[in-house]
A and B are shown apart, each in its own frame.
Chain A
Amino acid sequence: MSFDVDIRRAIGDRTIAIAFRTDHPLVALVGPSGIGKTSILDMVAGIASPDRGHIAINGDILFDSDAGINRSIAQRHAGYVFQDRRLFPHMRVRTNLLYGRRTGMAVDMDDVLDFLGIGHLLDRWPSNLSGGEAQRVAIGRALLSGPRFLLLDEPLSSLDRHRKSDILDAIDQIRRRSPIPILYVTHDMGEAERLSAMIVTMTDEG
């Protein structure tokens, strides 16, 4: 089972809830802005905790309120690509990319630089990158940390059409190279279909 998620969290007077179980390696969470898609990713990554429920990815239990399991952010090994990218502003691209790297990792640095096309950006500061470049660096940083699963939060937002297809190609590459589960958040159904993902639609009180 690549994803087994059933969580619920009250934020103010709203409740964000979602449940899905699947063997599909790529799940797209689709729903309008503000419905709580990012909150779901934060809960899967461990940045926020659900009120109750469970999260298991590839059989690995990350959270289970009944069993009292709540693994720390660092222990979950999520490859989280944030919508706002969150590249560290005081580090060059190279240092950003190497931040999550540990010795003995299977992911090959040159390979990732190559298929993302970011090899020439290593000595730049994040502030000097275009939107598409920053997005690819953010994806690269997540991949190089040797994640057990990927969380992509609206990776195509704020990119022009040409850049969008670049990033989609990169995601296809990732799926071909490393069979880790991917949870992909978008408000655009077309994107989800283009990736032939399993689609989970979020609605109010979903």
Chain B
Amino acid sequence: MSLKVSLVAVAFSLPGCFFIAWMLARWRFPGKLLVDALVHLPLVLPPVVTGWLLLLLFGMNGPVGRWLWDVLGVTLLFRWTGAALAAGIMAVPLMVRAIRLSIEAIDRRMESAAATLGASRLRVFFTISLPLALPGILAAVILGFARSLGEFGATITFVSDVPDETRTLPIAIYAAMQMPDGESMVTRLAILSMILSLGALMASEIMVRRIARSRYHVI
């Protein structure tokens, strides 16, 4: 459950995060400071408040929630998709930050060199900018995934605790702690959570290293 929620959360927030990061790194527009602040909001807001805001927006009477129900007949409330949304939102600040740093670190001179060789802006983006930003994007995925795995406050506020639906690892641990004889359950889940997190971090680290070693060098 936790894995599914986190994977979906990261997969769906990644394109948006990349776009926002690109905007913040490369464009100049009025209100940039506001966008920057909004992106970082989930980092500083109490997660309960983020969950409550999601509830306002996506609840049955919220503007987005009502539209989803009326037009598509779906709701995110009490569903794992809602948990993924909450986890994704909470991961946005970390992911945008990591990607933005890697975009800012791209050597713009490489991009102009590619242009003199006749490459269109789109080709420059896909063959030069994106590959050069790749390590940062992978780092963003790791951070976002780790953040999603641990997400608790916004999730429980937004979609509460529904067994087999929104019961992610942290929520299951919390639920087990409430039970009189849940101690062994807590221990088992806590160990599972540690193995999962450690495994994910190490796998990503190995991935980044492999890429970094064979392809990324500074001339």
Which A positions have Cβ atoms within 8 angstroms of B? Answer: 45-47, 72-74, 76-80, 82, 84-90, 99-100, 102, 125-127, 134, 141-142, 145
Contact = CB atoms under 8 A, between A and B. Distances in A.
B190 interface: no
A99 B119 contact: yes
A74 B131 contact: no
Contacts of A90: 131-132, 215-216
B217 A89 contact: yes
A72 B112 CA distance: 11
Interface residues of B, number: 21
B118 interface: yes
Given A47-B112, A73-B112, A82-B109, A89 B218 contact: yes
B179 interface: no
The A contact surface, by secondary structure, is loop
A126 B219 contact: yes
Contacts of B184: none
A73 B215 CA distance: 27
Contacts of A89: 110, 132, 215-219
Name, among A73, A82, A141, the residue most crowded by chain B CB atoms within 10 Å (CB to CB).
A73
Nearest to B109: A86
Given A87-B219, A89-B217, A145 B117 contact: yes
Contacts of B109: 82, 84, 86
Name, among B114, B132, B219, the residue most crowded by chain A CB atoms within 10 Å (CB to CB).
B219
Given A125-B217, A126-B219, A74 B132 contact: no
Interface of B: 107, 109-110, 112-120, 127-128, 131-132, 215-219
B115 A134 contact: no
5 contacts: A89-B110, A99-B117, A125-B217, A127-B218, A142-B117
A86 B132 CA distance: 13
Given A99-B114, A126-B217, 19 more contacts: A46-B115, A46-B116, A47-B115, A72-B115, A80-B113, A84-B109, A84-B219, A85-B219, A88-B128, A89-B132, A89-B216, A90-B132, A90-B215, A100-B116, A100-B117, A100-B118, A126-B219, A127-B217, A134-B219
Contacts of B128: 88
Contacts of B127: 99
Contacts of B120: 74
Contacts of B113: 80, 82, 86, 88
B219 A74 contact: no
B119 to A, nearest CB: 6
Contact of A88 (B110, B112, B116, B218): B110
A77 B119 CA distance: 10
Nearest to B121: A74
B116 A80 contact: yes
B118 A127 contact: no
A190 to B, nearest CB: 28
The 7 closest A-B pairs by CB, nearest first: A100-B117, A127-B217, A86-B113, A73-B115, A80-B116, A145-B117, A47-B112
Contact of B114 (A84, A88, A125): A88
